[in-house]
Amino acid sequence: MTDPGGGRPRPADAAARGAERRGTRATAAVAVFAGLAAALGYFLSWLPNIELVTFTVFASGVALGAWRGALVGALAMAIYSGANPHGSGIAVPPLYAAQIVGASVAGLLGGASRRLWRGPGRLRPALGALSGAALGLGATLVYQGLVVLGLAASLPEARSGFLAALTSNAFFSLVHLASNTVVFAVLAPVVLPRLRAVPSRTP
């Protein structure tokens, strides 16, 4: 619709088109982040429990906001686990669901912490490394806890299944926790302050 007086688009129409463009960019960014996270997962799949999926999903939350970061995590893990060359998570539905929820939490944490990494109040590199390490450890603890619960839920007896899943995954869980703590400590102060926020129609 145009302005009858001058033939120019009305401000409301221009605002609507701007909001639509921002929404399109945000949707494209979600797809790019999810594809990148899944690709990095496959790239390092030969290294047990050493991965960049969690950090990539976390970074998407910093760039896109918490809910879109959570969506990136869900999509990335659904792709990566569902088509994992070492065994599809779809074969164990409780585990598959736990992995998807766990990855989504990383995106939520990234969105919740985005003020730490941008703007005048962003952290100095040393504090950024410490905060990144703590956030990486927290995100991975949540993920590993959900994975253990998912494994236990797939076994006949929940209590014995939980203990079996916990003990059988103890070593790999520790490797995962340690490696992600290091990954976040190294990459967070370098990568996250350089991410450009992707505007959208909703916060």
- Which residue range forms the structural domain that includes residue 189? 11-194
Task: Report how many domains make up the chain.
Answer: 1
For the CA atoms of the chain, what is the radius of gyration?
A: 20
Low-confidence ranges of the chain (pLDDT < 70): 1-23, 157-166, 198-203
- Per the domain annotation, does 201 fall within a domain? no
pLDDT at residue number 79? 97
The secondary structure of residue 2, as a DSSP letter, is B
Q: List the CATH number of the domain containing 93.
A: 1.10.1760
Question: Do residues 109 and 97 make contact, with C-beta atoms less than 8 angstroms apart?
Answer: no
Q: What is the pLDDT of residue 202?
A: 46
In a domain, 4, yes or no: no
Q: Is 184 within the bounds of a domain?
A: yes
Instruction: Please list, in sequence order, all residues whose beta carbon lies within 8 angstroms of the beta carbon of residue 59, skipping any fewer than 6 positions away.
Output: 33, 110, 191, 192, 195
CB of 165 closer than 8 Å to CB of 152: yes
The H or E element spanning position 143 is helix 125-153
Q: Is residue 6 part of a domain?
A: no
Cβ 198 vs Cβ 29: under 8 Å: yes
Q: How confident is the model at residue 172, as a pLDDT?
A: 86
Helix (H, G, I), strand (E, B) or coil at 9: strand
137 found inside a domain: yes
Does any domain span residue 66? yes
> What are the pLDDT digits (tens) for 91-146?
999 999 999 999 999 999 999 999 999 877 788 989 999 999 999 999 999 999 99
The residues with which 2 forms a beta bridge, in sequence order, are 9
133: nearest Cα among 184, 175, 173, 177: 184
Question: pTM for this structure?
Answer: 0.84
Q: Is residue 200 part of a domain?
A: no
Q: Is residue 3 part of a domain?
A: no
How far apart, in whole angstroms, are the C-alpha atoms of residue 139 and residue 165? 19
pLDDT at 12: 55
